[in-house]
Amino acid sequence: MSERTPAPSTEIWDEEILSSDGLERWDGEDNVFRMTASISPIPTLKDLLTGLAQRLEVWESPQDLERLYPQTLRTGFQMPQSSEEDILNEFGTLEDGVLEPAAKEHFQEIHIQQFCVYRAPQHPQSPGQFEYLSAVVSELAPTEDYTAGLAEPCWLIDGLLVYRGLVRQIFAAEVIAVEIGELGNLEAHSTEGSIWIMTVESEKKNYWYRLQLPSKVYLPYWTNFAWLADFAKFFLDYLCIGNSVQLSDFRSKFWTWLLGLHGEKLQIWHTQCAKRTDFRQHVLSYAPFLYHEACVLGRKGTTNEHASRMSHPIWVETGVVKASQTRRAALKSLKTTVTPNIAASFLRFSAWQRYNLLEVLPLSSQVEAYRARKIRQWGFPDKFKVNQREKAALILEEAGEQNGPVDVSHAKELLGKVVVVRAKKDDGQYEFNYAWVRKTMSKTISVIWLVLPSDTICGSRGDATVSYPIGNELFFSDQCSCEDIHIEDVVRIVEASVLQDPTAPGSELFVQSLYREEEEAITNVTESELSCRCLLHGQRSSEGRHLHPTQRGNRPKLRGLSLFSGGGLFDHAFTSNGSSEIVFAVEHCEIAARSYQANDDTNCTQVEIGSVEEGLDAFASGRKPLPEIDFIIGGFPCPYYSTLNVFRDTRKSQKNGSLLANMLSWIELFLPPYVLMENVPNMDRLRPNACRQAICQLVALGYQVRKSIHLDSRLGGASIRERLFVVAAAPGVILPDRLVDTHGPAGSGLRKIRTVSEVIGDLDTIENDTSINIRDPSHVPLHRLGLDFKRQVSYRSLVRQIPTQPECMSLSKTYYNGGLLPHQRRFFEGNLHPTKQARNSQCLRRVDPDAPFRTVCTITSPMDARFGGHIIHPLEHRTLSLKEGGRRAMGMPDRFLLAGSVEEQYKQCGNGVPWAMGAGWGRNFARAWFASLDRRAQTQGEASGTASITWNQGDVCRVKTSTPKEDADVIVQKRRGLSSTLYDGDGGGGGDDGGNASDSSVEIIEVRPVKKRKADCTLDGAEAD
């Protein structure tokens, strides 16, 4: 085909439309179907089948026609003269004359062989296609008299009816009910031979068709359904004999009971599911079908039997019975509950104020007492008590206006003082900065630069909305301060509290923390660290300064509170090394909460299904006692902050973004020693910058804070998902190290980045239309490609045309390479928006097998041109499966359980944090926690059994040294002896944490004084060599 640009289309399309109104006729000249008047006022089923057959012949590939559709839908097929009604009348005349219809409680049965079940032409999805009987069961939902639940029958069956020696063929019989026998019969080993269907015609005579051997082409559908029917029987049998059956019973207990009951008769059935003994994911994946069969069984037994069967906890655990009566409409209008300080912090967020999103909660006396105890326990300063708005900026401005040297007789009068110094710029103007004098000569001083909050991660350049709430605080800086400053450039001496109580009388400003610019962190600091980094011997950053034990020993676990918990992927990865546990979690989506609980093997987590707004209110008011926790973990909703959000200014979107303020309020309420927050990196780029405002609030509370962005594939994960993390630690504990890359490109010296082919290469081949996979319920396509009647195309056939070589081919590339069939080219040229027609369009694009996965989303959209279309399997003609594109892409262990439909499970994956990230943070937090406990124990004089490096903040003293040129005064720190220390540990933690996440190395194995030249007596003598 010659290359050309397709004609533009004004239609924007993202979802398949799989239905058509009226009849179409085939126009052989133009090779298209055209709408025409109906042959009759109401088309007959035969008319509909004939029209569908004509379309399928053009739109579907020969392979798919043979594999997915019945003989009835072959072009030229002629319906037999005898109808189903005629055949049943013939059967009724055998032997005893015409038979009257049987009573409802008694029925006649007729065997049906070589059968296949398929969707009727008027079915809203994939008309004409074979389907599992489980899908028929779920849609029909028969009532007690077996009348169809749908407005009209949408399922058809072909087959051979066998009755008293007569064999007759029926076609397109309309199915209205499916019945599975032997449910609740413990003596029966299978449902084989005990599955019936009823049609419109057979219902008139109360005849049931007993399903026997299927047709060869329908055999895969029947085999999988028969296995599932047996599983439903075994499941319900277990409920009959079990007491308070729970999901955990199906880890191994169920199989042990089943094997003991049926023995070798289960061999074939057990082999079909790969001889698994853990059936929990099967229960979760097929819960709606199991529940439906339980309800059907309930109509046959007594009321007490049915009530007992439906009372088991497993129905709630799987999510098919809703325990939570969440008022979704009310939640949408619910305001974001916050504490007073948090509300004040976000006053400049005009959209939040315009929509009146925040509701301020008063704190009860019980909460205030709890907070006071936490402040003492973890050493939090109360900065809000001494806050003077804009004081630091005002003093600097006044010093600049005065711009005159201070009156001092000797430089040593400035030692240990906070001063304002001036520096002349190239244009002759002066700039003014704060500094702390650490060393003096006769006419010069050496300083540590001090910075305003706006010059740290508490500020956002060019964004006046971000405001640090404490106006009289400065921060030490790790900027180079090697050059001495003449005392004539000191223009003001400021009364300030340095590394002391901020409430010290007479202090205008206070300084307590160090801003580490390259690390993007604000940390604790001791005077021994206050030296120019250029003079240090060894690593200057805070990372590696602390020796972190890797084994918990007899130390207590970290106890966590989780917010916006989702399916629990982040939390369970974090706790996977066994050093921490979540004791309380809040999640508003019930099906996601059921996934969370399913993976809580120790049953240690209280999962609250509800909103974080109501949860905060319950704790703040004192209605609920506050649990004892050591960290808060959570990822507040990211859609507001996402680059894909083009409706950011709506109330719904702004409400979504304001949940950050709610999470900060939980932190202010509980004041845990540790905090871990996550979201998309774009959160730190938007205006107003909510990320920086959140950091402002955490630092104002007294937390040490680190901000970092990490890429999943660089940490051993399988995707290019990037996440922003904000880590906070109370003053009384050690701030966890940032994650360290373990994987990288060739030549980086790191391990090779994992690729799609490596991650999914072990999985079985499946088809586009696989919706039951008894070997692995999660290994089913995320999106079932089908027909689009409106646009006269089969997306399944389109994907077949997209070659697997070269790699990463897409619909548009295939079109421009001449690879589409004529009717597919017309579809491309006449139905797609120009963005979908572009050469770089992602529509139906195959995944690159030699690269990591793209970022996992929450919905699938194979025809999305921007992002979502990059979801086609690299080698097979289908979308990625849930296991491939959801679970494996997120690094989720195969044992991890997910509740809900395929769509719901994929959404939980997309809302999660990759396993490698969560596991890496879990290890780093555990090490920091253990080291903090050891340090606190040693400080308190308690024997912890493990040595640790500690130092005490002693009194400041002056030490005078002589140099050949001049005298020098310096500030030094009284400290106890520092000994060589090395922790033992295997470096891997105490449990299964995924094995691929970041692992922080211990870099300091010895601490000793560094020899100093007499002329340069500074404060770095205790640093590592």
Return averaged pLDDT per consecutive 10 residues of the chain, 1025 residues in all. Answer: 42 35 45 48 88 94 94 88 92 65 69 98 93 91 45 86 94 95 93 96 94 97 98 96 94 97 96 98 97 86 83 96 59 82 95 96 97 96 85 92 89 94 89 95 93 95 91 93 91 94 88 95 87 55 56 89 98 97 97 98 96 97 97 94 87 95 98 98 95 98 98 98 98 97 96 98 97 97 94 95 97 98 96 97 98 95 94 98 98 98 98 98 97 88 43 35 48 38 36 45 32 35 34
Evaluate whether 284 touches 247 at the Cβ level (below 8 Å). yes
pTM exceeds 0.75, yes or no: yes
Residue-level pLDDT at 744: 97
Report the pLDDT value the prediction gives residue 785, as an integer from 0 to 100.
96
Please tell me the predicted confidence (pLDDT) of residue 937.
87
Q: How far is CA 610 from CA 496, 615, 616, 790, in A?
A: 47, 7, 11, 42
Q: What is the pLDDT of residue 323?
A: 72
And the tokens for 909? Answer: 């994956």
pLDDT at site 337: 97
- Sign of the dihedral defined by the CA atoms of residues 6, 11, 12, 15, in that order: negative
Contacts 24+ apart (CB under 8 A), 596-602: 596/565, 596/566, 596/567, 596/568, 596/571, 597/317, 598/247, 598/280, 598/284, 598/317, 598/897, 598/898, 598/899, 599/568, 599/572, 599/896, 599/897, 600/568, 601/248
| Residue at token pair 């640009």 | 5
Q: Which of 790, 829, 822, 824 has the alpha carbon at shortest distance from 35?
A: 790
359 SS3 class: strand
Task: Strands of 441-495 (E only): list them.
Answer: 444-451, 473-477, 485-486, 490-494
Nearest residue to 1017 via CA among 956, 949, 966: 966
For residue 105, what are the contacts with CB-CB under 8 A and spacing of at least 6?
none
**Element of type H or E holding 498:** strand 496-498
* pLDDT given for residue 96 in this prediction: 58
Q: Tell me, what's the pLDDT at 103?
A: 55
Rg (CA), the chain: 35
Q: What ranges in 788-888 are assigned the alpha helix state H? A: 795-801, 811-816, 822-831, 834-837
Give me the pLDDT at residue 299, please.
74
Q: What is the pLDDT of residue 147?
A: 40
| Three-state DSSP class for residue 788 | strand
Question: Are the CB atoms for 245 and 309 separated by under 8 Å?
Answer: no
The confidence score (pLDDT) of residue 990 equals 42
- Could you give the 3-state DSSP secondary structure of residue 229? helix
> Can 638 be counted among the known catalytic residues?
yes
Q: Given the residues 116, 154, 589, 638, select the one marked as catalytic.
A: 638
Taking CA atoms, 277 is separated from 264, 270, 271, 480, in Å, by 15, 9, 11, 63
